[in-house]
Chains A and B, each alone.
Chain A
Amino acid sequence: MAGGEKVDYVFKVVLIGDSAVGKSQILARFARNEFSIDSKATIGVEFQTRTLLIDHKSVKAQIWDTAGQERYRAVTSAYYRGALGALLVYDITKRQSFDHIPRWLEELRGHADKNIVIMLVGNKSDLEDERAVSTEDAKEFAEKENLFFLETSALQATNVENAFQTVLSEIFKIHSKKNMAADPKANGAAPSLAGKKVVVPGPAQEIPKSKCCSSM
């Protein structure tokens, strides 16, 4: 699949969070449009790729998932290495999975690049009747820690596309700035990214204002 395509960027994004919060389902939902080997319940790490266009550039998203073996230590460090984006996933019906988010965030910041783009994701938004984590609590935590925030439903495909698009677009911005800084000649040629609208929210969903992760 990848052989014939010309790809301008390859961005690695990792999915982290407690087991059974639906990380693999989020990944499957996002990557559903691309052919992939049938590899269910793989060991330690699974990743799938999907190529999309951002601002007329071909961006290949390499999404990494722990596939339910969060403590698979052999690839803990390698899992985070080179990651430019991360989705911190919790289950809105399980308070404990949200209470563990600070520890996941700490591990992420301890291993990954400091400029990583992080989005807090509350999955299983279709199970409103069983909600155990309020949107306000999560939003407050996200604002305090300078994270993006969205609630998703992998089952109903709610906001999954938006989550990845937001993270990838933000990574793209950062990388474009780096490239322009590295190559002054490209300043004039590169189109301005200011005010670019990249996320189209669904009904009743609020997208937080764009925030860059602060330097630690």
Chain B
Amino acid sequence: MLRRQPGDAPASAAASEADLAQLSTAIAAGEDLGPFVRRAFACGRPEPLLASLRAAARDREAEIEELCRAHFHDFIRAVDDLRSLLADADALKGSLSASHAALLSSAAPLLASLESFLAARGLAGNLSSALASSRRCVRLLALANRANAHLQGGNHNLYLALRAVDAIDRDLASGPEPLPLPTLRRMLLSLVPAVRAHAEREISREFSDWMVSIRAASRHLGQVAIGRSAAARQRQEELRSKHRPLEECITLDDDGVGDLDDFAAAAATADVADGAAAASFDLTPLYRAMHIHHTLALGERFKKYYLENRKLQLTSDFDVIAATPFLESHQVFFSQIAGFFIVEDRVFRTGGGLTSRPDVDALWDSAVAKMVSVMEDNFSRMQTANHLLLITDYAALLSATMRRYGYPVGMLLDVLARHRDKYHDLLLADCRRQVVEALAADKFDQMLMRKEYEYSMNVLAFGIQSSDITPAFPYVAPFSCTVPDICRIVRSFIEDSVSFMAHGGGGDTYAAVKKYLGRILSEVVDASIQKLVDSGGGLSVSQAMQVAANMSVMERACEFFTGHAAQLCGVPLRAVERGRRDFPLRKSRDAAEALLLRLLRSKVDEFMGQSDGVTWMADDPPAGGNEYANEVIIYLETLTSTAQQILPLPVLRRVLVAVLAHISERIVGLFLNDSVKRFNASAVTGIDTDLKMFEAFGESMSSLFVDSDQESAANEMKAALVEARQLVNLLMSNSPENFLNPVIREKSYNKLDYKKVAAISEKFRDSSESYFSTFGTRGARQNPKKKSLDTLIKRLREAS
């Protein structure tokens, strides 16, 4: 601070005071005084500035002296303090030396104790370290011991053994420091992989054993599963069709498996001898193997191993059939495959990803391809229908079984369906042989039955009884033994066809069976009978009649066949009756009737062939008709008495009408015969008598047809003889020229042929002329009949 001196005069101006104020401020602030100096000298008046500066300097020096004086006093006091302190320090130094000496004297024993303590502590640390190391070794050895115990305990303890070994491995790998005992460490390091290798080896061996046992068990399992499918199918069939009497009396042994699944059923039905097989349905070894491999980090490898080995096993299953004929080995073959895939299905569902759906599907596809190939190969070489049926039936059961497990069986069923025609062709060939044998063995006599069961077996069984009343025994049937034999063959065919169709492929069973039934009836039965009939085969008239009679019985049997097929297929009979069809054996029936007629005509011709039987130029008509006519009548009467016992009335009627028509033809033929040159009125009268006898026979026969229209039957019989009747009427007429009148001809002679009439009239005129010529010599007039006859002949010649 600037102090104002009393001696200074206030001579400066106001401006000088401002400058001084600024200068003071600048000096106080420590600023640069350059600008002030330059401004003073620039103004030319530096003296006030210099005076201010000198004043300021004096002030400063005064302050400095004051400050130095104060500091000097402080310094002196400080020096005094230091001297005092020095004395105190000397005193303290002495005290300290004394304390140090005392301390040393008392601390010496304590130091010894401390050293002992430190040594003991080091020792304790070593011991702790040793104990920890020992404890670790003991734990490792305990784990090893436990692993060993588990290993000795069998494969079901392998997992626990591996866990123990894993613990050892973790300790060795991640312990705080390496194991201090090198020998033990080396041993354990070699033990761990050895145990793992052992575990893998043991579990693989067990797995291999399981594979072997599951294969044997699979066969049993497949058999049981297919058996259950068969039982289920049988129950359905029993519900659908009527039981035969035999079946109602027999109790089917129920295996008691009820609704158990196939594994449980197979285990339940295993015999004591199959105890091992039953135990092998247990999949535990497989689960264990999978788990162990997974624990060993070999899960993926095991999956591959499992799949490959199962493929090999399946391939080996395919070779089951190699050593034995397929017919005898097919059940084993199919059962083995069925069991294989039932096991595979369970493994897929319970194996936790051991197999995948694509894997199982691939296995199944290869199995299906193999089965298809084997069946096709064997079917192509098979020549017996029931062998084919046995195999296709079992294959169908296999398909039903595998469908229960969700496996696609379309290709299998396709094979069965593809061989449907082959099967039926074999069946038809076998039936054809049987039918031909039956026909060849038949003597075509009426069949004799002595016992009721024979009647039941040969008549009632095929619905061919004449009435619902059981006849008295011995019973003579209207048919020969061929009829029930053929019925048995056809029924057997129907049953075999239904057996195939019902399970051998899809589609409408009844429609297909009906088609094949039509084939056997037309291609086998109808064709065989027709062939027999067409060949004649040396059959007699009575035998031919029996064949014709058989055909009418077969017509009723054919209705039975259709009904039987429907019943076996589960189709109601009402639907069948609606679709009633024509008689399928019509050709052979017509052929049989034709044969009978052919033989009857030959017989008639044989009788009428006795040319000496008719006297064409007799003086008098033969009394009672010509000899041939009597013989024919006797023959026909004998024939009819037999025929009406076996032939149905419509057939008998048709036969009689045809025979009479033939007789009519033959009578006309007699007149036309070249060996007859002339005949007279007596001969015509004789023929007229014969004709009346035949007409009377026809009239009497018509009484047989009281059930149908008797009058129409009589008319038919008469119509059959009309040609001969008209010819005889013409020849006996007094006005034969009336034949030329269209109205009269249409009314009375419509069946006569121009040329025949001309030829016959010529023969008649000659004889008439000769007769009347003799009479004419007496001079009598010409006979009017002769004239009429001449007119007729002349006109007919002109017409021709």
Q: Which residues of A contact B (CB under 8 A)?
A: 1-2, 18-20, 36-49, 68-82, 100, 102-104, 106-107, 109-111, 114, 216
Q: Are B394 and A43 in contact (CB under 8 A)?
A: yes
Report B-chain residues with C-beta under 8 Å of the C-beta of A78. 385-386, 389-390, 496, 499
Q: Does B250 contact A (CB under 8 A)?
A: yes
Interface hub of B246, B384, B389 (most chain A Cβ within 10 A):
B246
Closest residue of B by beta carbon distance from A97: B250
Among B397-426, those with CB < 8 Å from A are 397
Interface hub of B320, B324, B325, B461 (most chain A Cβ within 10 A):
B324
Known: A68-B253, A71-B247, A100-B250. 15 other contacts (CB 8 A): A37-B324, A40-B223, A41-B223, A42-B331, A43-B227, A45-B390, A69-B252, A70-B250, A72-B230, A74-B389, A78-B496, A100-B249, A103-B249, A106-B457, A216-B454
Q: Are B386 and A74 in contact (CB under 8 A)?
A: no
Given contacts A37-B328, A43-B397, A44-B393, whether A106 and B453 have CB atoms under 8 Å apart is yes
Closest residue of B by beta carbon distance from A1: B324
Report B-chain residues with C-beta under 8 Å of the C-beta of A38. 219, 332
| Shortest Cβ gap from B315 to chain A (Å) | 18
- Complex formed: what's the CA distance from A103 to B257 in Å? 29
Q: Are B457 and A20 in contact (CB under 8 A)?
A: no
Q: Are B250 and A71 in contact (CB under 8 A)?
A: yes
- Complex formed: what's the CA distance from A20 to B251 in Å? 11
Q: Which residues of B contact A (CB under 8 A)?
A: 219-220, 223-224, 226-227, 230, 234, 237, 245-247, 249-253, 269, 271, 320, 324-325, 328-329, 331-332, 335, 384-386, 389-390, 393-394, 397, 430, 453-454, 456-458, 461, 481, 485, 488, 491-492, 495-496, 499, 502-503
| Shortest Cβ gap from B224 to chain A (Å) | 8
Closest residue of A by beta carbon distance from B384: A82
Closest residue of A by beta carbon distance from B485: A114
- Complex formed: what's the CA distance from A70 to B492 in Å? 17
Partner of A19 from the list B250, B386, B502 (CB cut-off 8 Å) is B250
Report A-chain residues with C-beta under 8 Å of the C-beta of B250. 18-19, 70-71, 100
Given contacts A71-B250, A82-B384, A110-B457, whether A77 and B324 have CB atoms under 8 Å apart is no
A-B contact pairs, 17 of them (CB 8 A): A1-B324, A37-B329, A39-B332, A39-B335, A40-B220, A41-B223, A46-B331, A72-B230, A72-B234, A73-B499, A74-B389, A75-B389, A77-B492, A77-B495, A100-B250, A216-B454, A216-B481
Given contacts A76-B495, A78-B499, A106-B246, whether A71 and B457 have CB atoms under 8 Å apart is no
Q: Are A74 and B393 in contact (CB under 8 A)?
A: yes
Report B-chain residues with C-beta under 8 Å of the C-beta of A114. 485
Given contacts A76-B495, A77-B496, A106-B246, whether A20 and B253 have CB atoms under 8 Å apart is yes
Report B-chain residues with C-beta under 8 Å of the C-beta of A82. 384, 386, 430
- Complex formed: what's the CA distance from A37 to B223 in Å? 13
Report A-chain residues with C-beta under 8 Å of the C-beta of B227. 41, 43
Interface of B is mostly: helix
Report B-chain residues with C-beta under 8 Å of the C-beta of A81. 385-386, 430, 492, 496
- Complex formed: what's the CA distance from A36 to B328 in Å? 8
- Complex formed: what's the CA distance from A158 to B397 in Å? 37
Report A-chain residues with C-beta under 8 Å of the C-beta of B454. 216
Partner of B488 from the list A20, A45, A111 (CB cut-off 8 Å) is A111
Report B-chain residues with C-beta under 8 Å of the C-beta of A76. 495
Interface of A is mostly: loop
Given contacts A36-B328, A43-B397, whether A110 and B488 have CB atoms under 8 Å apart is yes
Closest residue of A by beta carbon distance from B389: A78
Given contacts A49-B328, A76-B495, whether A44 and B230 have CB atoms under 8 Å apart is yes
| Shortest Cβ gap from B381 to chain A (Å) | 13
Q: Are A43 and B430 in contact (CB under 8 A)?
A: no
- Complex formed: what's the CA distance from A40 to B216 in Å? 12
- Complex formed: what's the CA distance from A109 to B390 in Å? 22
- Complex formed: what's the CA distance from A82 to B386 in Å? 9
Report A-chain residues with C-beta under 8 Å of the C-beta of B481. 216
Report B-chain residues with C-beta under 8 Å of the C-beta of A42. 223, 331
| Shortest Cβ gap from B450 to chain A (Å) | 10
Q: Are A37 and B461 in contact (CB under 8 A)?
A: no
- Complex formed: what's the CA distance from A148 to B454 in Å? 20
- Complex formed: what's the CA distance from A37 to B458 in Å? 40
Partner of B325 from the list A2, A46, A111 (CB cut-off 8 Å) is A2
Report A-chain residues with C-beta under 8 Å of the C-beta of B495. 76-77
Q: Are A43 and B331 in contact (CB under 8 A)?
A: yes
- Complex formed: what's the CA distance from A103 to B458 in Å? 15
Given contacts A41-B269, A75-B393, A82-B386, whether A70 and B328 have CB atoms under 8 Å apart is no
Closest residue of B by beta carbon distance from A20: B253
Closest residue of A by beta carbon distance from B484: A216
Q: Are B328 and A74 in contact (CB under 8 A)?
A: no
| Shortest Cβ gap from B447 to chain A (Å) | 9
Closest residue of A by beta carbon distance from B321: A37
| Shortest Cβ gap from A116 to chain B (Å) | 12
A-B pairs, top 5 by smallest CB distance, nearest first, are A78-B386, A77-B495, A74-B499, A103-B246, A37-B332
Report B-chain residues with C-beta under 8 Å of the C-beta of A40. 220, 223, 271
Interface hub of A19, A41, A100 (most chain B Cβ within 10 A):
A41
Given contacts A47-B328, A72-B234, A111-B492, whether A216 and B457 have CB atoms under 8 Å apart is yes
Report A-chain residues with C-beta under 8 Å of the C-beta of B237. 73
- Complex formed: what's the CA distance from A154 to B614 in Å? 81
Partner of A71 from the list B234, B245, B394, B430 (CB cut-off 8 Å) is B234
Report A-chain residues with C-beta under 8 Å of the C-beta of B320. 37
| Shortest Cβ gap from A170 to chain B (Å) | 20
Report B-chain residues with C-beta under 8 Å of the C-beta of A18. 250
| Shortest Cβ gap from A100 to chain B (Å) | 6
Given contacts A42-B331, A110-B461, whether A104 and B394 have CB atoms under 8 Å apart is no
| Shortest Cβ gap from A1 to chain B (Å) | 7
- Complex formed: what's the CA distance from A74 to B331 in Å? 15
Closest residue of B by beta carbon distance from A77: B495
- Complex formed: what's the CA distance from A20 to B252 in Å? 10
Closest residue of B by beta carbon distance from A46: B331
| Shortest Cβ gap from A128 to chain B (Å) | 25
Report B-chain residues with C-beta under 8 Å of the C-beta of A73. 234, 237, 499
Closest residue of B by beta carbon distance from A102: B453
Q: Are B499 and A77 in contact (CB under 8 A)?
A: yes
Report B-chain residues with C-beta under 8 Å of the C-beta of A216. 454, 457-458, 481
Interface hub of B385, B393, B397 (most chain A Cβ within 10 A):
B393
Interface hub of A1, A43, A69 (most chain B Cβ within 10 A):
A43
- Complex formed: what's the CA distance from A76 to B249 in Å? 16
Report A-chain residues with C-beta under 8 Å of the C-beta of B252. 19, 69-71
Report A-chain residues with C-beta under 8 Å of the C-beta of B491. 77
- Complex formed: what's the CA distance from A114 to B484 in Å? 11
Partner of A39 from the list B245, B271, B331, B485 (CB cut-off 8 Å) is B331
Report A-chain residues with C-beta under 8 Å of the C-beta of B271. 40
Closest residue of A by beta carbon distance from B492: A77
- Complex formed: what's the CA distance from A36 to B323 in Å? 10
Report A-chain residues with C-beta under 8 Å of the C-beta of B461. 110
- Complex formed: what's the CA distance from A81 to B224 in Å? 27
Report A-chain residues with C-beta under 8 Å of the C-beta of B234. 69, 71-73
| Shortest Cβ gap from A37 to chain B (Å) | 5
- Complex formed: what's the CA distance from A47 to B246 in Å? 23
Report A-chain residues with C-beta under 8 Å of the C-beta of B430. 81-82
| Shortest Cβ gap from B674 to chain A (Å) | 47
- Complex formed: what's the CA distance from A38 to B218 in Å? 13
- Complex formed: what's the CA distance from A176 to B299 in Å? 69
- Complex formed: what's the CA distance from A46 to B697 in Å? 65
Report B-chain residues with C-beta under 8 Å of the C-beta of A75. 386, 389-390, 393, 499
Q: Are A43 and B246 in contact (CB under 8 A)?
A: no
- Complex formed: what's the CA distance from A37 to B271 in Å? 18
